[in-house]
């Protein structure tokens, strides 16, 4: 576990639209919902598609653009098939306009 790393500006994140950032060598999808930001792995556990390459957010789940598996943003649990394995989720802190993620 590392320290928090600045990953983005809150004001640059659109509402409920996944944005790709790399923290170190870890690809992460950031999703802003109001003043809350979720950080999940940006690699689908089914066949490694990127959520930020056409995915969307629906009812608290991030939906994969390739085969439409969904994962709960708060804890990464798999929702709709075909994915079975959970996504990694990362701790986020918002400090003013700074979005900090711990990988």
Shorter beta-carbon distance to ligand FES: residue 30 or 78? 78
Nearest residue (CB) to ligand FES, 39 versus 83: 83
3-state secondary structure of 12: helix
List of E strands, the chain: 5-9, 19-23, 26-33, 36-41, 56-58, 61-63, 70-72, 89-95, 98-102
Q: Does 69 bind ligand FES (CB under 6 A)?
A: yes
Site for ligand FES contains 88 (CB under 6 A): no
CB of residue 65 vs ligand FES: minimum separation in angstroms? 8
Tell me: does residue 72 bind ligand FES (CB under 6 A). Answer: no
């Amino acid at each position: 576990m590392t320290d928090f790393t600045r990953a983005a500006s809150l004001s640059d994140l659109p509402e409920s639209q996944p944005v790709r950032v790399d923290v170190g060598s870890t690809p992460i999808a950031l999703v802003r919902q109001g003043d809350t930001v979720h950080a999940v792995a940006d690699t689908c556990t089914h066949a490694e598609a990127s959520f930020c390459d056409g995915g969307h957010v629906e009812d608290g789940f991030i939906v994969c653009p390739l085969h439409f598996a969904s994962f709960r943003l708060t804890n990464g649990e798999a929702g709709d098939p075909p994915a079975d394995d959970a996504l990694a989720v990362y701790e986020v802190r918002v400090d003013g306009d700074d979005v900090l993620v711990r990988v």
